Chain A
Amino acid sequence: MDVEGSSVKGYHPLDKYLRTDRLPHIWCPGCGLGINLGSIMRAIDRRVREGSLKRENIVFVTGIGCSARTSFYVNFDAAHTLHGRAVAFATGAKLAKPGLEMIIIGGDGDIAGIGGNHLIHAAKRNMDLIVVMITNFVYAMTGGQMAPTTPRGLYTTTTPYGNPEPPLNAVKLISSLNPNYVARASVTHPPLIEQFMYRALGMKGFRFIEVLSTCPEIFGRHIGLRDPVTLYNTLRSKVVVKQNPNVEESELDWEKGFVLGEYIMRDNPSYLEILGRR
């Protein structure tokens, strides 16, 4: 797709944070990734404007997948790396240059599937990283295969007899380790993404935000909610926002619904602090 000459620079107040010459983006109509990106940009903008974050220190690191394409569009230092390896890449950069603010964005397959081991160990170390995991319940870029968060029983292109596995609850997994921050948001509630990201940017250690997202093109087709508005409204009807929710109520279940909120918030020594490099 040739997008040269389609620059819309100066049109939006957040354009300064975007590579507008790469727009339009590749995301499908109804995809939640643009909502997520906009919310994160607003959180960054607040931090930059209040002086608690230097723009040149921000590094976006992504792996592979639809969510990983975020690094195409941000006008910061950015790395579009290997499938599942963004957390490892970012850990190396952060250790080498502690002043950097590493922001990792990826889908649930990228972050918790192929990259699951790196995720676990970064959380165990309380490594100074922000990981935003976009849960869309399916492998979308490759055409609709089962993902770690796919509901049990769902028919996908690789589960023609129904998904035999239960979905992975990353909030519970990460909470069992040593992170300083664990939250769950949803693209149906953009101010929450912004609020959680703003909070995470002001903290140290390992910070994990799961963002439930809409993929009408692939997941919607599988679940019978192909229309973007219907899928969006369905997800919206299934989320509940809670103050200080308990990890025990974090289950990732389309039948029972999803609890959004800040599950863990604490000030444990971060990995770089323990090394004396912060």
Chain B
Amino acid sequence: MRRVFISGNTAIAEGAIAAGMRFYAGYPITPASDIMEYLAEKLPEVGGVMMQFEDEIASINAVVGASWAGVKSMTATSGPGFSLMVEALGLAIITETPLVVVNVMRAGPSTGVPTKSSQSDVLQVRNGPHGDYVIPVLAPWSVQEAFDMTVKAFNISESLRTPVVLLSDSVIAHLWEAAILREPGEIEVVNRKKPTVPPDEYLPYRPDDDLIPPMACFGEGYNVIVESLTHDERGYYKQDVNTYRRLVNRLCNKILNRIDQVFDVEGYYINDSKYIVVSYGSTARAALAAVRALRNSGVKAGLLRLKTLWPLKVGVIREYCRHADKVFVAENNVGKVVYDIERIVKNGEVLSLPLLNLDVPTPDDIVEGIREWM
């Protein structure tokens, strides 16, 4: 255990190493590049490889390949790079490849404002690739959580055999805070399930009761098939509707059935709150300050912070908001997660607070928004 003073991006890199990540591939992009720069120095010290590729497309495809070679792997990028990675994210989903993609959000669309912050990619990261699937998305709000959630992202990806998106933003990336970094012996580190049957009995996509197939990797004698086409348990391409339904349902349900392993929220002053602010990531820091300011002036306000942005556990969010008259969704975009909250919250009124700020939204922005609708 070490107590350090570092940036959010450094905490992500440290978290990945602690989780056992030994292959990183990436392409420079603001505000994510310093993750790659840090790992370029650190990974060789622990026997790993950092590779700068010709583009983000190659980077994430190499990460998929490295994971199939048996090594925990990661890439990090920002919006424009993430857009290029979307295709291979779909490959990772259908081939059930454990990997972590860090998206350090900046303002868009397109090149946008590279050096400024945003939360506008929250829907893209969960809905980017074509097809049907569920991608876990985690959103840290502090440097400490950047470390902890990176470890959690790897543990989810390995145990559920899925890509996981760690959704940071420019504010968290370059925020310096004190944090506690733990070593592998001090944190839970999960590794993918390996086959227990001999190679001639092994089917690469035959799941256990938990819907997760044990994963043999390249060079282990199992003649694995990595198949991007819709496939049966052998990994053979099939076009029939039953194979398709079985695969797609399993890809979704293997994660939804274990949603408690993925989903997490945190509530502040919830019990007697008439007004609840739902927020996440860096904006939740301003939202908590706003809630405290409202409390100081006698308004019963609380904060529900989403630590997981996808999949959402409807019952938990609904329960937190059950007694609120009004639920405000404060996010640094035009209003996106608010659609989920509108769907989930049945009792109170749901109002969007689209902050759309290139810098950290201030508590005053949020207080003013709430007072306007109180």
Which of A's residues lie within 8 Å of B, judged by CB?
A: 22, 56-57, 59, 61, 64, 71-72, 75-82, 85, 87-97, 99-100, 117-118, 120-121, 275, 277
Contacts and interface: CB of A to CB of B under 8 A. Distances in A.
A22 B236 contact: yes
A57 B222 CA distance: 11
Interface string B47-62: 0010101110111011
Interface residues of B, number: 41
A75 B223 contact: yes
B65 interface: yes
Nearest to B49: A95
The secondary structure that dominates the A interface is helix
Given A92-B61, A92-B65, A117-B54, 14 more contacts: A61-B65, A72-B236, A77-B223, A82-B91, A92-B62, A92-B64, A92-B69, A93-B69, A96-B49, A96-B66, A96-B70, A97-B69, A117-B58, A118-B54
Nearest to A90: B65
A241 to B, nearest CB: 34
A275 B91 CA distance: 28
Interface of B: 22-23, 25, 49, 51, 53-55, 57-59, 61-71, 73, 87-88, 91, 217-229, 236-237
A118 B62 CA distance: 11
B49 A80 contact: no
Contacts of A117: 54-55, 58
A97 B57 contact: no
B229 A80 contact: yes
A81 B63 CA distance: 13
Given A85-B57, A118-B54, A92 B25 contact: yes
A7 B189 CA distance: 43
Secondary structure of the B contact surface, majority rule:
mixed
A57 B228 contact: no
Question: A-B pairs with the 7 shortest C-beta distances?
Answer: A92-B62, A92-B65, A79-B226, A96-B66, A93-B65, A88-B58, A88-B61
27 contacts: A72-B236, A78-B223, A78-B225, A79-B227, A80-B225, A80-B226, A80-B229, A81-B61, A82-B88, A85-B91, A88-B65, A92-B23, A92-B51, A92-B65, A92-B66, A93-B62, A93-B69, A93-B218, A94-B69, A95-B23, A95-B49, A96-B22, A96-B66, A96-B67, A96-B71, A99-B219, A117-B58
Contacts, number: 123
B225 A82 contact: no
Nearest to B71: A96
Given A92-B73, A118-B54, A79 B87 contact: no
A46 B128 CA distance: 46
